[in-house]
Amino acid sequence: MQFFIDTANLDQIQEAQDLGILDGVTTNPSLMFKEGISGEQKILDHYLKICEIVDGDVSAEVIATDFDGIIKEGQALAELHEQIVVKVPMVKDGLKAIRWFADNDIPTNCTLIFSPGQALLAAKAGATYVSPFIGRLDDVSTDGLQLISDIRLIFDNYLFDTEILAASARHPMHIIECAKRGADVVTAPLSAMLALLNHPLTDKGLEQFLADHAKGNK
Ligand code: E4P
């Protein structure tokens, strides 16, 4: 399973890259706003900075919701850097745009997926990735992880190439469950990735080893 980091924060992207576990980055307009990145040129420059840090795919979201606007924005984003994946919302014109991008060899990430039917449509349109938002489904008392299993079953039934990019993962167990259910990629905040490191028995064991070494080497 690939690990993408879900942030536009350059320091956090660099930290995940330095850990040697990073395969890509996802951003969205809210994450860019959180970092204070606004204005067309600054946004494009920021995507370039992200591409310089990480080797893998970098999702950059379009703002337009009409077909012509999505194509225009998506083409500009794709021309920016070969690592850019155009992130397109799951709306009717977005679906048509995903087909257009697929026919023109431009990779896409269909975002805001909340049902198996939406994922199926995006895969049929030729999306490179679908992004089911598991945390936001959990927020409304719906089993987000079940959506990962449902999409996995459907994509395997029909051998779709579209990859499942589990999004809106909020904690380490989301990551583990996505791995168990066969998500191709999980995108998560750095805090959730770092939390995978922790186990109290690791801390206790290390403390004991270091104490015994110190006793034997006085
Ligand atoms: C995915 O691409 C989105 O950027 C993200 O995972 C949404 O996460 P949130 O629900 O925690 O905002």
pLDDT band at 67 (very low <50, low <70, confident <90, very high): very high
| pLDDT tens readout for residues 17-36 | 999 999 999 999 999 999 99
Nearest-CA residue for ligand 1 atom 5 is 168
**If you average pLDDT over residues 120-125, what whole number do you get?**
98
Position in ligand 1 atom list of the atom nearest CA 188: 6
Å from CA of 48 to ligand 1 middle? 21
- The best mutation among 3, 4, 28 to test binding of ligand 1, ranked by most ligand atoms within 8 Å of the C-beta, falls on 28
pLDDT tier, 102 (very low <50, low <70, confident <90, very high otherwise): very high
- In this model, does residue 95 exceed pLDDT 90? yes
Question: Ligand 1: which of 34, 187, 190, 193 to mutate, judged by most atoms within 8 Å of the beta carbon?
Answer: 187
Looking from the CA of residue 167, the nearest atom of ligand 1 is 6
- 193 burial (CB, 10 Å; 0-12 / 13-18 / 19+) is buried
- Residue 218: which pLDDT band, with cuts at 50, 70 and 90? confident
Give this prediction's pTM. 0.96
Ligand 1, CB cutoff 6 Å, lining residues: 6, 26, 28, 111, 131, 133, 135-136, 167-168, 170, 187
Give residue-wise pLDDT tens across range 130-181: 999 999 999 999 999 999 999 999 999 999 999 999 999 999 999 999 999 9
Residue 138 backbone class (left: φ over 0; alpha: ψ -120 to 50; beta: rest): alpha
Burial of 140 (0-12, 13-18, 19+ CB in 10 A): exposed
Please tell me the distance between residue 114's alpha carbon and the centre of ligand 1 in angstroms. 12
Q: Nearest to residue 37, comparing CAs of 88, 48, 29? A: 29
User: Tokens 């703002």 identify what position?
Assistant: 63
Is the pLDDT at 1 greater than 90? The verdict is yes
Q: CA angle, 203 as apex, 202 and 204 as ends, to 5°?
A: 90
Question: What separation in Å is there between the alpha carbon of 64 and the centre of ligand 1?
Answer: 19
- Of all protein residues, whose CA lies closest to atom 12 belonging to ligand 1? 168
Compute the Cα dihedral for 144, 162, 150, 64 and give only its sign.
positive
Question: Rounded distance, CA 10 to CA 8, Å?
Answer: 6
> What pLDDT shows up at residue 21?
96
Cβ count near 149 (within 10 Å): 17
Residue-level pLDDT at 119 = 98
Instruction: Give Cβ neighbours of residue 172 (< 8 Å, ≥ 6 apart).
Output: 192, 193, 195, 196
Give me the phi and psi of 25, to 5 degrees please: -135, 140
Question: 169-177 — which CB contacts under 8 Å span 24+ positions?
Answer: 169/6, 169/134, 169/135, 170/135, 170/138, 171/195, 172/196, 174/134, 174/135, 174/144, 174/145, 177/145, 177/148
Whether pLDDT at 6 is above 90: yes
Query: Which residues are catalytically annotated?
Result: 87
